[in-house]
Structure 1
Amino acid sequence: MEASFFPSIVAFIWIGILLMLGTYLRAKVPFLQRILFPASLIGGLIGFVLINAGWLGVPTTEGWKAIDQAPFGTLTFHLFAFGFVGIGFLESAQKTDNSKVVLRGALWIALLFTMMFCIQALLGKGIFAAWANLFGGQFETVNGYLLGAGFTQGPGQTLAYASIWENTYKTANAINTGLAFAAVGFLVAGLVGVPLALYGLKKGWAACEDGKGLPRCLLRGLRDEGDNPSCAFSTTHPANIDSFGFHMGLMAATYGLAYLVAVAWTLYAPQALRGLGFGMLFFWGMLVAMGVRKFMKARRINTLLDNETCHRITNMTVDFMICSVFMGIQFSTLQDILIPFGLSIIVATVITLALCLWFGRRSPEYGFERCLALFGYCTGTAASGLLLLRIADPEFRTPVAVEIGAMNVCLLFIFDTTVTLSMPFAPREGFPLAWIFLGIAVGIPIIMYFLKLIRKPAL
């Protein structure tokens, strides 16, 4: 029985320990509060140091047994895919009095998000290729494209692409490089995004600045006694099945259906596309969940689904995934690309910041708030964008928070049909990925100009 703990259960336990440590440090260390680092990021950074020093493991009856990065990479992949099942079950209940503004803002963010992905990917690929040509090195230059995925889409989707590359095209170190890009992206969102938000407030750029500052609970990351809003509603009777257990069971069963879709795709899709089977498991999970939700609605049993419960489960997977991604990175395999890796991060950060500010100044409305949300989204995740937005708009009085949610509808048509379906084929000989990305990066500003999404500078 003792052997059953290793390695997956031990990895899960360590994530839990580090999340608790991160929560404690966020509540006690003023510096971490000033830069608003979440507990998952703090714990993940500590875990990265510990596991690469060889200090993570578990005591056994035969002595200390160390653990490596492999199980954390596996957990990251499945936590990400499972979270997309939760996203598929979500049904937006947010409304606004000005739907035209929200639609315009959602389209503005979605178009620029897609453009940023392409620019970052081209920068990464270009710097990797230039370094290899000038100074040599035994590394795959195609892995530079993962800078765009790591920064804009986060670790889970980056891991999905990298898994396809390694399994189908035998691209060396794609997973480790992609996870490293995603991990550093979270750091950039906090270390650059938070000072940007505070600077903008000082300059009076915020549309709804109230001068109250950030609430204590946001800084500490913990709520005080008496300040405990409800976060979910029960849809089942606990004498039968707990409501949280019902939702977890439904999501697990749906994940199983997504697994069957992946198996069927791998068996029956054209040979060149079979790598998408399990590599796109997150996408199948979301689609199947949306189908199950529509079926439940047609059968009039959709009242069993609580939106907040699905939302909380999804957020939980994100917390565990962010912490896990840092411990899935093997530092020794990054040493050959350390300089081009660092250069690509610096250049991408500077250009992303400059573009966010340039387009934010020319946004039809709420330019600073949209700039912050876009920068957080294009370096971390949607949660990073919301966190930066909350600094400038603590009560979410502007519609930008709603626009962040609505942008996903736009992305289904703008982004997934182009970038997401192109990235898996990047290592394929002759595939024109660079030209696709270049066309998107050049075309989007032109489209925005004709849609009147670029106005005269306001900030």
Structure 2
Amino acid sequence: MSANTVGFALLILGLALLIGKIIRVRVGIVQSLFLPSSIVAGALLLLLGPEVLGRIAGPWGENGVFTEPIVEVWSTLPGLLISVIFATMFLGQELPTPKRAIKLVGPQLSLGVSLASGQYVVGLLLAALILVPILAASPMTGALIEIGFEGGHGTAAGMRPVFEELGFTEGADLAVGLATVGIVGGVIIGIALINWAVRTGKTEIVTGSAKMSIEEQKGLFREDEYYSAGKMTSRPASVEPLSLHVALVAVAILIGLGILEGLRWIEQATYASVMLDEKTPLEIFAFVPLFPLALLGGVILQVIATKAGVAHVIDPQIMLRIQGWALDFLIVAAIGTLSLQAIGENIGAFAILAVAGIVFNVGLFLFLAPRIIGRYWFERGIGDFGQSMGVTATGLILMRVVDPEAKSPAFEAFGYKQLVFEPFFGGGLITAMAVPIIFLTGVWPLFFVMLAVFLVAVLSGLFYFRPREMRDRAEWEKEKGKSGAGQPARE
């Protein structure tokens, strides 16, 4: 494969993303569904690629209007870009004061971990009782709800090499399909929940209507609006600020790669010699992908920069722009190379997992959030619901709708939770290790571990955080009643 082929494949991704943006601006149904331009672009490439156009007799070949090397580049790209996304997550982020972080992160983390671990509980139980014995599916399907919903397209595509190495090639396509269902369902169901909450008085910020402006639906800024995309932390005469931040991302990924190779070396030098059967050695880190360790590399680099007094050089907004670019290109490439045949051959398992994941996320959010979060329970909880259905951006979109001016602590609490949550779930170490563990030990060991985590998260929220949170809500309602500010918010 030549460098020209790689470059041309990237150019086509850029063109597709631009067309997707134009469609978002021009087509009302796409705006009303708040579909990201990257999903529209990915769907366009899917239609023109081997899975749709390539299967129709015509002047084009089996790869549609594209060539096989271009499709091969796209199929490889998500596994590379996911490390960029995870490496940027904590670069440039300030660590919160311990007192405020602990107060806000407790119930938020309880809800987030309950949603993530519960997806494993539901998925593994379905795999053990229905998918494996009745539909002859792989036991590893039990991890797909968390990988596709909580992890999103990036994690689903990044896990492809692991699935392929473990002989579950269709797992990556099913996970990407679930991620698409999750992100679209997350936005649609999330907006519906917001409108319900506004009508029933469960929101404290938005009243009357939760609709976005036309510009927001199109995904554009007005001419009189200003949004900073980053600041100049380096003089371009020495090094372009964007180049400096890309270099820092590269260093974070290299740190993560060094950690991963070290763990693999330790594994091979110790317990890897133990054989589970005649052909299967006890190896876990051999199947763990790079991206969760790239996240750890970013944390380490940020700590080093803070200790050295140069943390101001790392601008969080530029890091977000790099992360956003990588995520957009990843989603376009992942959806564009999605195997519809794999989903079609496993449509029963796919449908069961999708429906079960949606029902569980909606049910747990409505049950748990108002019971463990005091004030602004809906504003704070809807972000975790959105993340549990799709990527973090889905949660941020929903919080933006229900709290447009960030008057509640929703964004702050969500960010604090991410510092503890991301290294483990939604593409973290647990997500990366779950599939190899299921492959080595079967469904039940991981099921009971995740069930224990789920119960601890739920019970700690109900019995430890709830009393304090409800006192805060009661005190606020009392003060609000005295001031005559209207009816207190209902649970």
Fold in common (TM above 0.5): yes
2: CA distance, partners of 1:263 / 1:348: 34
Distance 1:93 1:427, change over 3 A: closer
Partner SS state of residue 378, structure 1: helix
1:117-132 aligned at under 5 Å gives the runs: 117-132=116-131
1: CA distance, partners of 2:54 / 2:180: 20
2: CA distance, partners of 1:205 / 1:222: 29
Partner of 1:14: 12
Partner of 1:220: 218
1:164-243 aligned at under 5 Å gives the runs: 164-167=162-165, 169-209=166-206, 211=208, 213-243=211-241
CA contact (8 A) 1:107 1:410 kept: no
Partner of 2:245: 247
- 1:92 paired to 2:89: no
1:21-170 aligned at under 5 Å gives the runs: 21-51=19-49, 52-54=51-53, 65-66=67-68, 70-92=72-94, 100=100, 103-132=102-131, 135-137=134-136, 139-161=137-159, 163-167=161-165, 169-170=166-167
Distance 1:15 1:233, change over 3 A: same
Number of positions where the alignment pairs a residue of Structure 1 with one of Structure 2 = 449
Segments of 5+ residues of structure 2 without an aligned counterpart are 273-280, 471-488
Partner SS state of residue 395, structure 1: coil
Distance 1:412 1:451, change over 3 A: farther
Distance 1:284 1:64, change over 3 A: closer
Aligned counterpart for 1:342 among listed residues 329, 351, 355: 351
2: CA distance, partners of 1:126 / 1:269: 30
2: CA distance, partners of 1:222 / 1:316: 16
Percent pairwise identity: 19
1: CA distance, partners of 2:246 / 2:304: 18
- 1:429 paired to 2:427: no
What is the Cα deviation at residue 135 of structure 1? 4.3
Give, as a single letter, the amino acid of the residue that structure 1 aligns with 2:313: L
Partner of 1:402: 412
Aligned counterpart for 2:334 among listed residues 313, 325, 328: 325
Partner SS state of residue 452, structure 1: helix
Spell out, residue by residue over 1:91-131, the C-alpha distance to the aligned partner (whole angstroms, 9 max, x if none): 13789xx965x644432232222222232223333334444
CA contact (8 A) 2:144 2:175 kept: yes
Calculate the aligned-residue CA RMSD, in Å. Answer: 3.2
1: CA distance, partners of 2:350 / 2:138: 12
CA contact (8 A) 2:255 2:297 kept: yes
CA contact (8 A) 2:132 2:138 kept: no
Moved more, 242-251 or 150-159: 150-159
Moved more, 274-283 or 443-452: 274-283
CA contact (8 A) 2:284 2:433 kept: no
Partner of 2:313: 304
Segments of 5+ residues of structure 1 without an aligned counterpart are none
Distance 1:302 1:344, change over 3 A: closer
2: CA distance, partners of 1:70 / 1:111: 41
1:434-453 aligned at under 5 Å gives the runs: 434-453=447-466
Partner SS state of residue 161, structure 2: helix
1:378-417 aligned at under 5 Å gives the runs: 378-411=388-421
2: CA distance, partners of 1:441 / 1:46: 39
Partner SS state of residue 141, structure 2: helix
2: CA distance, partners of 1:402 / 1:111: 16
Give, as a single letter, the amino acid of the residue that structure 2 aligns with 1:22: G
Give, as a single letter, the amino acid of the residue that structure 1 aligns with 2:190: G
2: CA distance, partners of 1:256 / 1:36: 36
Give, as a single letter, the amino acid of the residue that structure 2 aligns with 1:43: A
CA contact (8 A) 2:149 2:388 kept: yes
What is the Cα deviation at residue 388 of structure 1? 0.8
2: CA distance, partners of 1:55 / 1:20: 23
2: CA distance, partners of 1:378 / 1:359: 14
1: CA distance, partners of 2:24 / 2:2: 34
What is the Cα deviation at residue 399 of structure 1? 0.6
Give, as a single letter, the amino acid of the residue that structure 2 aligns with 1:77: G
2: CA distance, partners of 1:236 / 1:452: 44
Moved more, 228-237 or 198-207: 198-207
2: CA distance, partners of 1:182 / 1:128: 18
2: CA distance, partners of 1:219 / 1:211: 18
What is the Cα deviation at residue 432 of structure 1? 0.6
Distance 1:434 1:246, change over 3 A: same
Give, as a single letter, the amino acid of the residue that structure 2 aligns with 1:108: P
What is the Cα deviation at residue 211 of structure 1? 4.9
Spell out, residue by residue over 1:208-250, the C-alpha distance to the aligned partner (whole angstroms, 9 max, x if none): 1255742443211011223232221112222222111111122
Give, as a single letter, the amino acid of the residue that structure 1 aligns with 2:126: I
Spell out, residue by residue over 1:347-392, the C-alpha distance to the aligned partner (whole angstroms, 9 max, x if none): 2212211111112332322122133212101001211001011111
